[in-house]
Copies of this chain bind each other. A is one copy, B any other.
């Protein structure tokens, strides 16, 4: 049976206005997974999403509770003999601080120019919605999908997907698929699509330093008592050396060295130092000597301090030695580092360097493994064709410095080949104030997803066997 894709694409094009309105509704939910006081918003967002999936014609739609935020599952299984595509996305978003820097309210989505502004617009509501609208366009015009589809949309990606692994392990059969697609990454520019083949892992921690039982008067005790804030600064300052390397012993031991060929390819297709600085809006780079900025952010691990708090933060002065100080920290890890091992190395190091004048405590927020995708897999070729048709340009292959726990878990637990097909731009401000989604990418993303489903079906017809065999070997 020949698949007629033009009516599907035309339908999606004609419905662009409605699609944008629906994305607005989706972004409207303040589904901040890190903040317990938003639990109800995540539930409401999951219910809205489940209702939406039901309305467009998906079946077996389920809201699966977890220890924190629910997983939304849906499927369509009426294409016997065709491959099954597992579509992953996350409906949770990052916190919005500093709120004062938003030009429009983060949960009152606003279109300015060709961009939709709002928390989650690109990370990941907008990107996952490309697939939802592609499925809808197919179902509305042809009454069916060209392949079998399973949707898995979680609400805990931004807190490290703590309940996704156990969910996958419990539901291996239900989730069995020939290929998984995740759209939660970047392309280089609106006309330069990209398939991501490498993700960094992550380890999020909190380090606390405790000193006196209560805040002390800095006049009475200044000079005689070790200040927890100062000690925290001393510890953090000592975690990097003058060449930008992390000083934790054995930290780099498992970092996989990259070949000259690989580094050459990265230099040819990846962003230049100038492009990375321009996306970050900073004048100068920083970091580990001997590597380009693209290498530092993708094939080399990194340690960043995400927040420090301690002592007085109100207006004016307050002359105290605070009782305690805390820092939130985030490691980005590369193959073959293991976040659980890094966690142990960090804790051992802190215990060794902590001054005897104070007490320290480490709390682990989450750990996710790095992931490396096999670029030679046929799925990748299919994704490339879809991009070429959806964006009018062949994609390049890039590494991402970010982390998607699902990518590693799909490999490890489901053994399903995964393709990272992103639609966000480097300056979409994921995690930052004024996050946006470039609307041409939204519409091209929908078209790309339509082509992807189509080409998987075509490839399935041509060489079902090839896809399945590669999948089994992955």
Contact = CB atoms under 8 A, between A and B. Distances in A.
Given A227-B304, A307-B312, 7 more contacts: A97-B318, A217-B402, A222-B401, A224-B276, A224-B280, A308-B309, A308-B325
A311 B306 contact: yes
Interface stretch (A73-81, A427-435, A443-451, A452-460): A427-435
Contacts of A238: 237
A414 interface: no
Contact of A320 (B186, B223, B306): B306
Nearest to A218: B304
Nearest to A229: B305
Contacts of A318: 34, 94-95, 97, 306-307, 328, 431
A65 interface: no
A220 interface: yes
Contacts of A94: 318-319
Nearest to A213: B281
A312 to B, nearest CB: 4
16 contacts: A35-B314, A98-B323, A101-B323, A160-B317, A204-B319, A211-B282, A219-B401, A219-B403, A223-B300, A225-B285, A233-B233, A233-B236, A306-B311, A309-B309, A317-B330, A319-B403
A296 B401 CA distance: 48
Contacts of A293: 224
A212 interface: yes
A434 to B, nearest CB: 7
A300 to B, nearest CB: 6
Nearest to A294: B224
**Oligomeric state, in copies:** 2
Interface of A: 33-36, 94-95, 97-98, 101, 159-160, 186, 200, 202, 204, 206, 211-227, 229-230, 232-234, 236-238, 240, 244, 276, 279-288, 293, 296-297, 300-323, 325, 327-328, 330, 332, 356-357, 365-366, 400-403, 426, 429-434
Contact of A212 (B211, B281, B302): B281
Nearest to A230: B305
Contacts of A234: 233, 237
Contacts of A302: 218, 222-224
Given A218-B332, A223-B300, A306-B318, A286 B357 contact: yes
A325 to B, nearest CB: 7
Given A222-B401, A284-B357, A366-B317, A227 B305 contact: yes
A218 B346 CA distance: 18
A176 B74 CA distance: 85
Nearest to A37: B315
Nearest to A302: B223
A225 B300 CA distance: 14
A160, A234, A282, A287 — most chain B CB neighbours (10 Å): A282
A420 to B, nearest CB: 13
A431 B332 contact: no
Contact of A432 (B200, B217, B276): B217
A280 B317 contact: no
A316 B39 CA distance: 13
Nearest to A222: B302
Contacts of A304: 218, 222-223, 227, 230, 319-321
A396 B98 CA distance: 52
A385 to B, nearest CB: 27
A15 B457 CA distance: 94
